[in-house]
Chain A
Amino acid sequence: MVFPDKATADGLIEAAALSEAKGRSLWSDAVGRFRQNKAAVFALYVLIAITLFAFLGQFLAAYSNEEIDWSRLGNIAQTGAPSFSNGHYFGLDDLGRDLYARTVQGTRISILVGLVGSLIAVVVGTLYGAIAGYAGHRTDNVMMRIVDILMSIPFMFVLILLLVMFGRSIGMLFVGIGLISWLDMARIARGQTLTIKNKEFVEAAVATGVRPFTIILRHIVPNLLGIVVVYATLLIPGLIITESFISFLGLGVQEPSTSLGALISKGASQMQYGVIWQLLFPLFFFLATLFAFFFVGDGLRDALDPKDR
């Protein structure tokens, strides 16, 4: 998982390749189209840079993410501002810890959370929604009422029970994120499937006796990809914020480790207290990551859109 962005790209491309199953030329077509999209290529570089920062940035840090600078503790607003001379490039957090080291480590967690969550949403949500929408009738009704129920149950208790039963770990954080992330995606995929399944090419496939699951994978899913990719990038900020709630309950990231969500929420609470860097640095990486994800997603969508061919 050194280059998680590449992992998603690969995943999506694999899905497309699987569904189309037309071999190498499509893939290079897509790459070619992606390369022409300057915004997307630039965003990909940004994403790679952020990933490098998140996974290698700690080697440039002068301090660890947990050491307290006792001499500045209690006087952060005056003495904790970002400075190259004392090695605190991003300044100190409210407890006198190096914000650079904490942002590096927090970005790492949050990128993973965003990627894993949106991957689960894409895979589970799309397939679930496509199956429900394609099958229709009673199957659709049952599957979608299950989604309605899952959307309405008090999710907090599910998380607390996960904590009680399995203890805390980063793995359980991903389970928690995964449980919630696919629901909206399933509804969107299902809604689109309802119209796609009436299109001529699907009817033709049905008429020639193609198996339903093959139809879903080959004809429905590729046509969903546009909206799925857009929605996946929409999900990421929500998931990164949800992580801080899950950690609040004790299931996820524990101090002294942190995440962008936790850093931003702490920074936001302190915004009028003269330590604005505590908000700006994490928020910058949050926004930059999301912008990059968006443009890469947009580029991928254009590159993979079967209708353009």
Chain B
Amino acid sequence: MFSYIVRRIAVAIPTLLILVVISFILMFAAPGGPFTSERPLPPDLLANINAKYGLDKPYWYQIIHYIWNVVAHFDFGASFKYKDQTVADIIKQGFPVTLTYGFWSFVVAVLVGVSLGVVAAIRQNTWLDYLAVGISVGAQALPNFVLAPMLVLVFTLWLGWLPGGGWNGGQWPYLIMPVIALSTSYMASIARITRSSMLEVLNAGFIRTAKAKGLPMRRIIWRHAMKPTMLPVLSYLGPAFVGMITGSVVVDVYFSTGGIGLFFVNSAFNRDYSTMMGITILVGALTILFSLVVDVLYAWIDPKIRY
């Protein structure tokens, strides 16, 4: 296992390099650049600006130069759009925000989702099952851009219980609505995958044997059924966790949390090459890391798995 992990980490580096190169090619090929604006800049001025940001160099040079700066100096450059910030500033400020609300959303989604799913599966085709399924289908289908303004309307405007947005260092009143808005659909998905997976496991031979032996249900669930149930849930949780901690544009837009989700989307719209590359590398690294974590967990759950 250990040598497998080492190998996977070794593969991560060329993977990230390929990601950087592909992203650069896509970026350069897209119409418009960081300094394309409603009022086209005079050519001389544009030349000055391109020179300052190194955009006057050939594409291959820009890519290699960028990679060199990142590898050798850990320097992600200055943002092309938000000129008072470097990309490192933006990530340092925004990532802890998304990490915080993403982490809590993950905790809530997993706790509530798995419980709902397990209860629904054990009580299949009872009103409890229907209720759990109804809640999860409804929750999953309610788009978060509908849920988010509804929350603000109810808790801020009508009840006056919670602030309508902002972050303020992540104090809990500012955290509640983002976590609800972000976790709801994940929670629902987790509940449904858990339910269906649990149903399959409960039908499997070894559980039937355990039931036949007269083991108490609670014990069967916890000791025997839970681990195999979690396998497909884990495949879902890997990317879901990365999705949550790298933030959500909807949360950032509706609650003004200042996370990197909004920076990422804006950087693409603004053709803010440096910011976009910085966040792409962060997201890529996390994606690769958590697919490794998931694989390690697979092997723990099912020791028969060999890679």
Contact = CB atoms under 8 A, between A and B. Distances in A.
Contacts of B306: 136
B23 A234 contact: no
Contacts of A239: none
Contacts of B293: none
Interface in A172-229: 183-184, 187-188, 190-192, 194-195, 198, 226-227
Contacts of A140: 307
Interface residues of B, number: 61
A226 B228 CA distance: 14
Contact of B239 (A151, A227, A237, A291): A151
A141 B238 contact: no
Contact of A272 (B11, B153, B280, B284): B153
Contact of A188 (B27, B31, B235, B304): B235
Contact of B30 (A157, A194, A291): A157
| Chain B interface SS verdict (over half) | helix
B287 A227 contact: no
A95 B299 CA distance: 57
Contacts of B138: 287, 291
Contact of A151 (B26, B287, B298): B287
A307 interface: yes
Interface in A108-159: 136-137, 140-141, 144-145, 148-149, 151-154, 156-158
Contacts of B196: 226-227, 230, 298, 301
Contacts, number: 154
Nearest to B290: A148
B282 to A, nearest CB: 9
Contact of A271 (B15, B153, B268): B153
A227 B193 contact: yes
Contact of A148 (B192, B235, B291): B291
Nearest to B307: A136
Nearest to B136: A294
Given A141-B11, A291-B137, A301-B196, A195 B27 contact: no
B143 A290 contact: no
B140 A237 contact: yes
Interface of A: 136-137, 140-141, 144-145, 148-149, 151-154, 156-158, 160-161, 164, 183-184, 187-188, 190-192, 194-195, 198, 226-227, 230-231, 233-234, 237, 241, 261, 264-265, 268-269, 271-272, 279, 283, 286-287, 290-291, 294, 298, 301, 305, 307-308
Closest 5 CB pairs of A and B: A191-B235, A152-B284, A157-B26, A290-B141, A188-B235
12 contacts: A137-B307, A145-B11, A148-B15, A154-B26, A157-B23, A188-B232, A191-B294, A195-B298, A261-B143, A272-B153, A290-B140, A307-B204
